[in-house]
Amino acid sequence: MFDVPVTGFRSPSSDFSVSAFQRFSFLICLSVGCSSFPLVLLISAFQLLYSMNVPLQPSVAPVGSRPFRSLILPVVVAAVVAFLWVFPGLWNQDRPIGSDFIWFGENLGVDKWTYREIPVGRSAEAILVADRIANGDFEKSDGSRVSVYSAKRYGKKDNEIGLFVHTPDRCWTIAGWQLEPVDQDYETLTIHGLPILFERRVFNFSGRRELVYFTALVGGKPLPYRIDQYYAAARKKTKATQDDTASTWLRLAQGRLWGWAWESLKNRTPLFGPQQFVRVSTPIEAGDVGAADQRLKTLLPQWMILTNFNAEAANSKAEMLTR
């Protein structure tokens, strides 16, 4: 759990402290991800009520008093949170699935490369709640390697975390990889005539350096903004905050995490719906970052191929029914 002292106000009707409540609530926030931003506000509101010593249930009042006055603040807070919960669904623009709906399939028969599938554990699939995951390595006879990963969700599931909650900035650093400073941490690449914004990172693990690109699509189009919500926190991680739970406060303290949710609202782009997360990486040999960049840029359009969303979703559903 978090290294937070359990002190402070205790509710007169409960032995549940504010600090304990904070620990529980932030774990909830962490588990649901940024797509449930109104839930964060709801939990914060209840924390505020506790800290103000406002009872969540009206107490027995003497004759002549106004017992319902104690309910005004909770009712107002509940109304505000309800509005924030409903508003994004009305504000965000859902894109109809038509001929211009962008979706990428995976070409496993890339010329001059040999593909080797690497199964993803059931635990990882459960965390992401992905409908389909492709994970493996492309290798050449000269020893070159490009690791590829694609996670997809075909339906709109408001009650589940987004596929973008577990980006390399968060997951790789938990596994012990360290971020190296780079001159360019994002780049727009043209894939089959489509400009797509990719995050660009260099990770190091005990001297092993890896160049990583990753990007996301929601509702049939590339996200118009970056998925760097954990980048600032990842650069500040230490051995003491490497663990995901220990680094929770570090992530929450970064303004970019909250700005990311605001960008989604500003661009009228929902964080849920049909989603695709793509990550590719390759070793940096002899310090030649340029060669690693070129390797990824060459393979990406050969591996990522435009495909029909409806057909792929139907095939995936049929495969799941036969399992």
For residue 4, being part of any structural domain is answered with: no
- Residues 117, 242 within the same domain: yes
Residue 313: closest CA among 109, 123, 156, 94: 156
Give the model's pLDDT for residue 117. Answer: 94
- Residues 48, 196 within the same domain: no
* Domain containing residue 78: 18-91
For residue 141, being part of any structural domain is answered with: yes
Is 14's pLDDT higher than 60?
no
Residue with tokens 């070409």: 107
Please indicate whether residue 164 or residue 40 has the higher confidence score (pLDDT): 164
Residue 249: closest CA among 9, 16, 6, 25: 25
For residue 3, being part of any structural domain is answered with: no
- Residues 234, 125 within the same domain: yes
- Residues 182, 65 within the same domain: no
Whole-prediction pTM value? 0.67
Percent of the chain with pLDDT over 70: 56
**pLDDT band at residue 23, thresholds of 50, 70 and 90?**
very low
- Residues 185, 289 within the same domain: yes
Which of 91, 117, 139 terminates a domain? The answer is 91
User: Residue 194: beta bridge partners?
Assistant: 191
For residue 99, being part of any structural domain is answered with: no
- Residues 118, 256 within the same domain: yes
For residue 251, being part of any structural domain is answered with: yes
Is 302's pLDDT higher than 50?
yes
Which of 40, 61, 91 terminates a domain? The answer is 91
- Residues 158, 307 within the same domain: yes
| Environment class of 183 (CB within 10 Å of its CB; exposed 0-12, middle 13-18, buried 19+) | exposed
Give the model's pLDDT for residue 209. Answer: 97
For residue 162, being part of any structural domain is answered with: yes
pLDDT tens-place string over residues 196-249: 999 999 999 999 999 999 999 988 888 888 888 788 777 666 665 556 665 666
Q: CA 295, CA 182: separation in Å to the nearest integer? A: 18
* Count of structural domains within the chain: 2
**pLDDT band at residue 285, thresholds of 50, 70 and 90?**
very high
- Residues 115, 62 within the same domain: no
Q: CA 225, CA 188: separation in Å to the nearest integer? A: 11
**pLDDT band at residue 64, thresholds of 50, 70 and 90?**
low
- Residues 42, 70 within the same domain: yes
Is 279's pLDDT higher than 50?
yes
Please provide residue 78's backbone torsions phi and psi, each rounded to the nearest 5 degrees.
Answer: -60, -40
Please indicate whether residue 181 or residue 58 has the higher confidence score (pLDDT): 181
**pLDDT band at residue 18, thresholds of 50, 70 and 90?**
very low
Is 108's pLDDT higher than 80?
yes
pLDDT tens-place string over residues 182-199: 999 999 999 999 999 999
For residue 2, being part of any structural domain is answered with: no
The secondary structure of the chain in percent helix, strand, coil, rounded to multiples of 5, reads 40, 20, 40
Is 71's pLDDT higher than 60?
yes
**pLDDT band at residue 54, thresholds of 50, 70 and 90?**
very low
Q: CA 24, CA 244: separation in Å to the nearest integer? A: 15
For residue 12, being part of any structural domain is answered with: no
Q: CA 144, CA 110: separation in Å to the nearest integer? A: 14
Q: What is the mean pLDDT of residues 66-88?
A: 68
Find the range with the poorest average confidence among 35-39, 72-76, 213-217.
35-39
Average pLDDT of the chain is 74
- Residues 64, 108 within the same domain: no
pLDDT tens-place string over residues 131-164: 889 999 999 999 999 999 999 988 876 555 567 7
Evaluated on CA atoms 95, 133, 161, 257, the torsion sign reads negative
- Residues 161, 201 within the same domain: yes
Which of 91, 120, 146 terminates a domain? The answer is 91
- Residues 306, 161 within the same domain: yes
